[in-house]
Amino acid sequence: MGAVVGDVRRLAMISLHTSPLDQPGTGDAGGMNVYVVELARRLAARGVEVDVFTRATSSSHAAVVPLADGVSVRHITAGPFEGLTKHELPGQLCVFAREVLRTEAAQPVGHYDAVHSHYWLSGQVGALARDRWGVPLVHSMHTMAKVKNDALAAGDSPEPAARVIGEEQVVEAADVLVANTDLEAEQLIDLYDADPGRVEVVHPGVDLDVFRPTDVTVARAALGLPHDAVVLMFAGRIQPLKAPDVLLRAVAVLLERDPGLRARLVVPVVGGPSGTGLDRPSALAALAVELGIADVVRFVPPVTQAELARWYAAATLVAVPSYNESFGLVAVEAQACGTPVVAAAVGGLTTVVRDGRSGLLVPGHDPEAWAAALRRVACDDDVRARLAAGAVAQAQEFSWDATADQTLGVYRRARSLMRQSLNAS
């Protein structure tokens, strides 16, 4: 459908530190990558031309790569292609911003109608582009340093003060801030002093064409899993924040209580090391050995969305033990496949998972409590069937089409706010 009068026609989307072309589940690629790709595609289907600016991480990257009809990924050379960590990227902000501005300058005046930045690094660039182009800045935090530092995993490193300051600056500069949940909106207002009138809640979605109920026997046969296995799955980046170790420790408790379960138990860990997990990439495998459960744990490298949906469908349950999640895309995807979720009662997970209806929420990260929750779902057919039905129903509340429609409304409001500000001055 075409964009209505007043809508954004051309959008600059900035995703500096991770490319939408990267495979989610490793490095810095995760739910945000999925968000950028799916939102951009849906916006393009509504008549918006989207350019996604990201930092080039390989000399083989073409300057412009088509992602979908109406969506282009623009690779910006800023710093060495490889070897830079996310914490070193602030040193490349000036170069990246200069090249973004140069790209726009080659177009007719007024080429972009709005900027949508993702994560604070992108927000810094977006704020500069906003002022230079005279268009509104819409910003999505995705994660926040103050929230992460309040809920650090044991042994994890706190986010640096430079990020906290940078986030505060972006919150001040943005015309509208997009929060994934009501809780995130409250955190922006309470922790970052965001103007409540400039915070909009828009839930991310899930691709219900990819993530949908599939026969468990068929899924397990395709993956080489026994048809009668008890499959307790983790999916995501392997790092302390995501807490896959909590699942492993709970599994050890579970097997201690019920040794007979071992013959049928499979614990797939689907994903790759990321963040501070890169410092000790083999730590989780070593923990499995230390706990005496290496025989039931199966490490699976990051997979495509279609393959991930197959793993979800094959699982008895999906565990999401994170210390913090701004939304919890894995939980929504799993539920869309009809698989109950056992999740930590933190952040966006309390919105995504309906406790006792689509899954179970576990307060804290105590392995004993987690083992009890896992056992309740895995070993009680009636409970699992009830939660599976509720999981499918719950996932229907989240669609990327709804996300795109609401985001277009945010863009219109941001343009209106900016016009009001200019008129007032």
30 is in an annotated binding site: yes
Report pLDDT digits (tens) over 374-418.
999 999 999 999 999 999 999 999 999 999 999 999 999 999 888
pTM metric for this prediction: 0.89
123 is in an annotated binding site: no
163 is in an annotated binding site: yes
Q: 109 is written with which tokens?
A: 């005046």
Q: 93 is written with which tokens?
A: 């902000």
Whole-angstrom CA distances from 390 to 215, 357, 383 are 17, 5, 11
Report pLDDT digits (tens) over 12-21.
999 998 888 8
Closest by CA to 42, choosing from 16, 17, 67, is: 67
Name the residue type at position 27.
Answer: G
231 is in an annotated binding site: no
375 is in an annotated binding site: no
Angle at 60 between CA 86 and CA 44, to 5 degrees: 75
333 is in an annotated binding site: yes
Closest by CA to 136, choosing from 424, 425, 411, is: 411
Mean pLDDT per 10-residue section of the chain, whose length is 425 residues = 60 92 65 91 96 91 94 93 79 94 92 97 97 96 93 84 96 97 96 97 95 96 97 94 96 97 97 66 92 97 94 98 93 98 96 97 97 97 97 95 96 87 64
303 is in an annotated binding site: yes
Give the SS3 label for residue 187. helix
The 3 state secondary structure assigned to 295-310 is CCEEEECCCCHHHHHH
92 is in an annotated binding site: no
29 is in an annotated binding site: yes
**How far is residue 143's CA from residue 210's CA, in Å, rounded to a whole number?**
26
312 is in an annotated binding site: yes
143 is in an annotated binding site: yes
1 is in an annotated binding site: no
180 is in an annotated binding site: no
The pLDDT value given to residue 118 = 97
24 is in an annotated binding site: yes
The pLDDT value given to residue 279 = 59
